[in-house]
Every structure is written in structure tokens, then in C-alpha cells.
Structure 1
């Protein structure tokens, strides 16, 4: 069952990366749990918000895809604790930044969803 769960989480992460790159809140709503907690832990930029505030920000953003921004993402690790909860460590480069994500995921009746997104970023120098 663990391998099946890992494949499902990888699929969620593909939609997560695509939703961010295309600034598509419809895609992201299918990835995030309705009780999402978003935490930006970047030095000097600490903030916390819920799903609706975050989706408003996504909707207001110019999609990186529309500017042709370079994109690179990596799932560094998926750690499961049974069949219901886990942590995903991921990196994504877009919008001139290198993002580091720690995502907690939960498996409910409608499948795996991201429950918390804690991240930071550094500006790219190139």
C-alpha cells in the first residue's frame, strides 16, 4: 500500500507544480485541503494565511508560464507515516526564485491533499 500512496502523492505534486507555474487556482484547489495553512518562512517575509487568501493571491499573480519563466521542480523526499499522513520535501525554481517546500499531506475520502505548506525562498543570482 505504501508504493500506491507514494504514486498518488507524486500525482498530487505534479498538479501542485503545474498549478503554481500556471497560477491556476482551480488546479490548486484540487491539491490543497480546505483547511490549508500556508506559511512563508522566508527571512523578513514571515506570513500565515488560509486557503482562500492564498487562492486570491494566486488569482492576482501573473502566471510564470505566461512570461516563459524557466521552471524546475524536484520532489526530494516523501515520508509516510502509515496510510493517512506524510511529509513531502520539494524544491521549485520559478519567478527568479529558488523555493524550498515542506508540505504535510493527508489522505481522506477524496484522496491525498496538502494540508500545510511551509516554505521559504531565495532570490536567484543568474
Structure 2
């Protein structure tokens, strides 16, 4: 049986993947902490953003769902350190790219939130 934290993080990750696939910043705002640090660690494409800059990018892109893209995602590992922080290693494929995410979580009064999103990607064969 899963703990309450595991159930909450499962729900958080479902919203994360849904929000990205549908480019839904309202859903993603339920996932991310207001002080989010977004870091693209892809070689040759390093970027750093805050929550508002990232949500603007999400709002301005055509959702993969609208294009009918196939969807593939997984949570490879969840590590909780005490009751206040954790790390999620996740993967997803969309927009012609395979993404590898490291998401640092903190527990807030509003539940678990992603405080840092560090990721890298490589182009898929179709992309």
C-alpha cells in the first residue's frame, strides 16, 4: 500500500505530464512552486528561467495534444528525504524530443511542489 506522500506525488506527476502534453499553464501552476528554477542542461542549449517566463513559453506553444503526437512518459525514481524534500527522475517523449527530468520537490502548506526542474533532451529519430 502506498503512503500518503507517494499518492500525492503520483498525482503531482500525472498533472505534470498532462500539463506539458496539453500546454496547460493552469494545471502546471498546481505542480510548480512560485519560486521555480527551470534549467535546461542540454549541451549547447543552456537556459535558465523563473516560473513566469516558463509559463509564458508554455502558453505560447502549440500543445503536442493538438498535433496528435504520441505520448510516452515514465517516472523512473522517486526519492524522499525526510518529510520535506524529494527528487523525481522522469522521462517523456514529445515535440520530437526525448526528455530526461530531475525534479526537486519540497513539501509546502499546499502539498508537494516542484521547486527545481533540471532537464536535458535529445532529438528523436522522427524529430
TM-score w.r.t. the length of structure 2 is 0.96
Query: Structure 2 matches for 1:111-126, cutoff 5 A?
Result: 111-126=111-126
Higher mean C-alpha deviation, range 60-69 or range 4-13: 4-13
| Stretches of structure 2 lacking an aligned partner (at least 5 in a row) | none
Query: Would you tell me which structure has more helix in proportion to its own residues?
Result: 1
1:78 matched to 2:78? The reply is yes
Deviations 1:26-73 (A, max 9, x none): 000010000000000001100101000000000000000000011100
Distance, in Å, in 2 between the alignment partners of 1:30 and 1:8 is 12
Which residue does the alignment assign to 1:89? 89
3-state SS of 1:67 partner: coil
CA-CA distance at 1:10 after TM superposition: 1.0
- The correspondence of residues 25-64 of structure 1 with structure 2, limited to 5 A, is 25-64=25-64
Question: Which stretches of structure 1, 4 residues or longer, exceed 2 Å deviation after superposition?
Answer: none
SS in 1 for 2:66: helix
CA–CA distance in structure 2, aligned partners of residues 3 and 87 of structure 1: 16
Number of residue pairs the alignment of both structures matches: 125
Give the whole-Å Cα distance in 2 for the aligned partners of 1:51 and 1:61.
16
**Structure 1 unaligned runs (5+)?**
none
